[in-house]
Amino acid sequence: MTINKYYIIAGEASGDLHGGNLIAAIKGKDPQCLIRCWGGDKMAAAGGALVKHYRELAFMGFIEVVKNLGTILKNLKFCKEDILRFKPDVLVLIDYPGFNLRMAKWAKQQGIKVVYYISPQVWAWKENRVKMMKQCIDKMLVILPFEKDYFKNKWDWDVTYVGHPLLEEIAKKQTADNELLIRDASGSVNQKPVVALLPGSRKQEIEKKLPVMLEVSKAFPDHQFVIAQAPSLDHSFYQTFTSPYPNVSIVNNRTYDLLLQSTAALVTSGTATLETALFEVPEVVCYKGSAISYQIAKRVINIKYISLVNLIMDKEVVKELIQDEMNVKNLTGELGLLLNNAEKKQQIKSDYQELKSKLSAAGAASEKAAAIIIASATQ
Per-residue pLDDT tens over the stretch 20-57: 999 999 999 999 999 999 999 999 999 999 999 987 76
In the predicted model, is pLDDT for residue 116 greater than 80?
A: yes
Q: Report pLDDT for 242.
A: 92
CA distances from 306 to 13, 75, 80, 167, 265 (A): 21, 32, 35, 20, 16
> What's the whole-number mean pLDDT along residues 226-232?
88
Number of H helices, E strands in the chain: 17, 13
Look at the chain and count its residues.
379
% of the chain with per-residue pLDDT over 70? 91
Q: Report pLDDT for 361.
A: 66
> What's the whole-number mean pLDDT along residues 94-117?
95
Q: What is the pTM assigned to this prediction?
A: 0.86
Domain boundaries, the chain: 5-163+364-378, 174-360
**Higher pLDDT pick, 237 / 295:** 237
Q: Report pLDDT for 175.
A: 76
CA distances from 168 to 10, 102, 240, 245 (A): 19, 30, 36, 36
Q: What dihedral angle (degrees, nearest 10) is formed by the CA atoms of 262, 208, 269, 240? A: -30
Architecture of the CATH domain 5-163+364-378: 3-Layer(aba) Sandwich (3.40)
pLDDT classification of 232: cutoffs 50, 70, 90? confident
Q: Report pLDDT for 292.
A: 55
In the predicted model, is pLDDT for residue 296 greater than 60?
A: no
49-87, pLDDT tens digit by residue? 999 998 776 555 444 555 566 676 788 888 999 999 999
Between CA 343 and CA 351 the distance in angstroms is: 12
- In three-state secondary structure terms, 285 is strand
**Higher pLDDT pick, 78 / 226:** 226
Q: Report pLDDT for 362.
A: 62
Q: Report pLDDT for 92.
A: 98
The DSSP element (H or E) to which 205 belongs, if any, is: helix 203-216
Q: What is the CATH number of domain 174-360?
A: 3.40.50.2000
- Is 174-360 the same fold as 5-163+364-378? yes
Q: Report pLDDT for 181.
A: 80
| Mean pLDDT taken over the chain | 89
